Amino acid sequence: MELNNLQPAAGSTKTRKRIGRGPGSGLGGTSTRGHKGAKSRSGYKTKIGFEGGQMPLQRRVPKFGFKNINRVEYKAINLATIQTLADAKNLTKVSVEDLVAAGFISSKQLVKILGNGNLTTKLEVEAHAFSKSAVAAIEAVGGNAVKL
């Protein structure tokens, strides 16, 4: 065996279709493009979303409003929930890690404390955001709200 007589294995390669080389090839005439129309011609390219003249989907569906790309999503936790957690675990400081461990939020979520419910014990509450009523309720019992 020499370099000049190497060949690929039998059946491992195919010859390419030679389109548009006359009727004797079997692939002449329309050259596998069908008859007439834009798709049969050279340089054909559709616009994105073109549906053959039918009103395209992006123009049929009504649109309104906008999505604020700077929106920050918070998971709302009420003071009543924090009080029950503090009572159950005997806590004086409620942090985001405590809320994750209790299963109220996931580790990726941001927390906002809302003022629904009442606080009876003095607590230090850590969160990403607080409502005014929540801060007032926490400080009324002698605790403090720590913003992360």
Could you tell me which CATH number the domain at 74-147 has? Answer: 3.100.10.10
- Kindly report the average pLDDT of the chain as a whole number: 94
Q: Map out the domains of the chain as residue ranges.
A: 74-147
How buried is residue 127: exposed, middle or buried, by Cβ count under 10 Å (0-12/13-18/19+)? buried
What pLDDT, on a 0 to 100 scale, did the predictor assign at position 145? 95
What pLDDT, on a 0 to 100 scale, did the predictor assign at position 80? 95
The answer on pLDDT for 49 being more than 90 is yes
pLDDT tens digits along 62-93 = 989 999 999 999 999 999 999 999 999 999 99
pTM: 0.59
Q: How many CB atoms lie within 10 A of CB 77?
A: 23
pLDDT tens digits along 100-112 = 999 999 999 999 9
